[in-house]
Amino acid sequence: MKYQYYLFNPRILTDETAKLTNQVYETWKQVYDGIFESLHTDDFYRNEVITCLKDMETDEVLAFHMYSVFDDRASSHLEHRYMEPFTPELVKKFQAEGAHTYMSLEYLGVNTSYQLSKPGFKVADIISALSMKAFEASPWDGLLAVARMDYKIHEKAQRFGMRPMGEIMRGKYPCQLLFLKKHETKELSDPFLAKMVTELWNAKINYTDLISDQPVKKRHLKIA
């Protein structure tokens, strides 16, 4: 089976990224419809970078992850709805560690039909690990996440080095606030998955210049 990892901006489109945007958008609605009381297209469109992992044999999106960017010099950034749980006291802690610009990890999702049919393939772990590589290749100082605790997403995030900074309720779901400083990410402990992540990253198709790592020649990774 062939897999391909993509990074793109949903607001600056080519024919290729328009197709990716539509595919991820439909999968996003499928995964998150019913989880939130209301699902707003604005929350999809506002992301600076969207990433996805595709099965090239079926042309399906297997998983996706989305990133927004915030800068503490702009009040409008700090007062954004996503940033509200990160209080001024927390922002001061981040600043004390030299972090002033932030990449958010949002809307981690796995295609539900694939998740049920391939329980042994840890797609969520793989795309999360790829997001860590994207963060390290980005110009931003810190990584932020609001992770659900009922699904143990916060525990997965901590295995990548993210630090718990408090707990909140988001709607009816208990969530943990998480922070990671640049150059403090941890690799996956499973050597097979770690190798797969490295190969997918090296074979990525990067349509955005916000991630500074150089795009590589387009090719697909064959995974037996």
Axis-axis angle for helices 191-202, 123-136 (nearest 10): 50
Q: Which residues contact 194 (CB under 8 A, 6 or more apart)?
A: 129, 187, 188
**Model confidence over 73-104: pLDDT tens digits?**
999 999 999 999 999 999 999 999 999 999 99
CA distance 118 to 9: 29
The pLDDT score that the predictor gives to residue 120 is 47
The pLDDT score that the predictor gives to residue 115 is 65
The pLDDT score that the predictor gives to residue 214 is 57
Residues with pLDDT less than 50, the chain: 120, 215-221, 223-224
Q: Domains of the chain (ranges plus CATH)? A: 2-222 (3.40.630.30)
The pLDDT score that the predictor gives to residue 121 is 63
Element (H, E) at 27: helix 15-32
List, in sequence order, every residue forming a beta bridge with 55; answer none if it has no partner: 3, 60
Q: Which residues contact 44 (CB under 8 A, 6 or more apart)?
A: 10, 25, 28, 66, 107
Dig out the tokens for 90 from the structure.
């927390």
CB burial of 5-18 (b: ≥16 within 10 Å; e: otherwise) equals: bbbbbbeeeeeebe
The pLDDT score that the predictor gives to residue 171 is 84
Q: Which amino acid is at 134?
A: A
> 């110009």: which residue's tokens?
139
Among the listed residues 38, 39, 36, the one whose alpha carbon sits nearest the alpha carbon of residue 25? 39
